[in-house]
Structure 1
Amino acid sequence: MLRFVEIGWQMGCIGHSRVSLRIFGDALRPVEITLLLGCEATQAAYKGEEIHGRSTGQVRIARTGSWHLQAERREPEDLNGQIEEILGKLTADLDVWADIGQRYRVDLFCGLFMATSNDGMSLTPASLLALGQRGIELALDIYDAGDNR
């Protein structure tokens, strides 16, 4: 008789996550993206606009147009929840997403900050499908437990 034994091992949870939907393009007009998606950006800039650093106050010039929508930081990590938070604020019209994706670079930038040396996480099929239907590239930056946060 064949028996399956549950090992009971689970990987540690990622300590916290930060997630932002980003749209970039030289001709990008943030006000147009806001109208198309139905939500104000957390941060936006026109190409050539002066951008003032939040923490440093340093001024830089935007090399391209950008539109960002940031989710609330989650501790422990909840990437699926952050994807739902962001996409829940935006249009579900896939034709709008296709238009934006043809004209601009679109990604979901995720900062994953490990709490230990062997943390992990997973994405649900629903999250992966939602990103794929909208043509949103998933970009992951993973920081080990020793990195500054």
Structure 2
Amino acid sequence: MALISRTKATLRISGDDLLPEDITNSLGGFPTHEQTRGEELETSSGSIRVAKFGMWCLCATEQEPGDLDCQISEILEQLTSNLNAWQELADNYKIDLFCGLFMEDEMEGISLSPESLQKLGERNILLDLDIYGPDEAEENL
């Protein structure tokens, strides 16, 4: 089986009362995107929307061929390894690693190492996978 053609990965922390600067201080790293509840945000089409919740995001470099282990390491190496800090965040906010897996052929796959799974689990990070088939992947290029 061939490796998945391309992967994107973003660590997302969200909550109604989330203040991005608090997450930055807790994790010791800077987001690639942040928003505060009630903040006016410009969409890609130029219209304005109001954020319904706070969010702190850190994106990994897109990998081609796909490599989620590399992306997980890239994200977590920028942030604290203090599991108490992660637990405090998990007690108050939703934390996930949102991943896009893009296929070019019908039979592609990906594996995650035990080390990556352990790092996610220790930090209470939910793994969220969106898988795009060959036809969908072409539309999202």
Tell me, yes or no, whether TM beats 0.5.
Answer: yes
Q: For each residue in 1:83-139, what CA deviation from the matched residue of structure 2 results, as whole angstroms up to 9, or x when unmatched?
A: 000000000000000000000000000000011011100000000000000000000
Contact 1:13 1:115 in 2 (8 A): no
Matched, 1:65 2:54: yes
Residue in 2 aligned with 1:87?
76
Residue in 2 aligned with 1:101?
90
Supply the distance in 1 between the matched residues of 2:48 and 2:6 (Cα, whole angstroms). Answer: 29
Residue in 2 aligned with 1:6?
none
TM-score for both structures, normalised by structure 1: 0.91
TM-score for both structures, normalised by structure 2: 0.96
Supply the distance in 1 between the matched residues of 2:109 and 2:87 (Cα, whole angstroms). Answer: 32
Letter in 2 for 1:116: D
Q: CA deviation at 1:77?
A: 0.2
Percent identity over the alignment?
Answer: 45
Supply the distance in 2 between the matched residues of 1:70 and 1:79 (Cα, whole angstroms). Answer: 12
Supply the distance in 1 between the matched residues of 2:45 and 2:57 (Cα, whole angstroms). Answer: 20
Matched, 1:39 2:62: no
Bigger Rg, which one:
1
Q: Runs of 4+ in structure 1 displaced over 6 angstroms?
A: none
Matched, 1:24 2:10: no
Residue in 2 aligned with 1:14?
4
- The size of the alignment, in residue pairs, is 138
Mind listing any 5+ residue stretches in structure 1 that lack a counterpart?
A: 1-10
Supply the distance in 1 between the matched residues of 2:23 and 2:14 (Cα, whole angstroms). Answer: 10
Q: CA deviation at 1:58?
A: 2.3
Q: CA deviation at 1:57?
A: 2.1
CA RMSD, 1 decimal: 0.7
